[in-house]
Amino acid sequence: MRRGPCGGPAVPLSLPGLPEAVLFDRDGTLVHDIPYNGDPDRVRLMPGARAAVDAVRARGLPVGVVTNQSGVARGLLTRRAVEAVRERLEKLLGPLDVWAVCPHGPADGCACRKPSPGLIQAACAALGVDPRRTAVLGDIGADLAAARAAGARGVLIPTPMTRPREIAAAERTAPDLLTAARGLLRASAGPGGDH
């Protein structure tokens, strides 16, 4: 157990059982959040992003991204621009096993846009894994709400953009991405647990 961000409650870094897959939010989690970024030259990894993804891959687990990109619906981004950013991110991190992208706006009422569970469910279906055996890492409450709605385990990695109430409401937090990934990979060694 470690103290949560901002002196918050202690949180378990080891979760029960090794996940079958790890899904990352994109903006604010894997890369610095530049609103509506469609320019691959502006993509900058968050501290520890490469090491976190590499740690998950080293355990043989699939890695994916689940990301809201409402800039498409708002006319601020094209699907090709979103794809160009994906290509740049994969040059920095290596190929990812699945991408689930919601191009809709908040008022569109879609089932995929986080905090709805659709992106996580779609990514899990593409990977052939159970959402209940999947972990989702993100930087805002919508990421964790989507994980909860899908039955997945969510871990919040707060940034300056994370609201204090989102941190207070999070069941699991980690001070940084690498700590979060390592915590997920320390599966419980209890009876019936993964080793």
Active site residues per annotation: 25, 27
What is the rounded distance in angstroms from the CA atom of residue 105 to the CA atom of residue 110? 8
Burial 83-107 (b: 16+ CB within 10 A, else e): ebbbebbeeebeebbbbbbbbbbee
Q: Report DSSP letters for 82-140, one per residue.
A: HHHHHHHHHHHH---SEEEEE---GGG--SSSTTSSHHHHHHHHHHT--GGGEEEEESS
Instruction: Quickly count: other Cβ atoms within 10 Å of residue 116's Cβ.
Output: 20
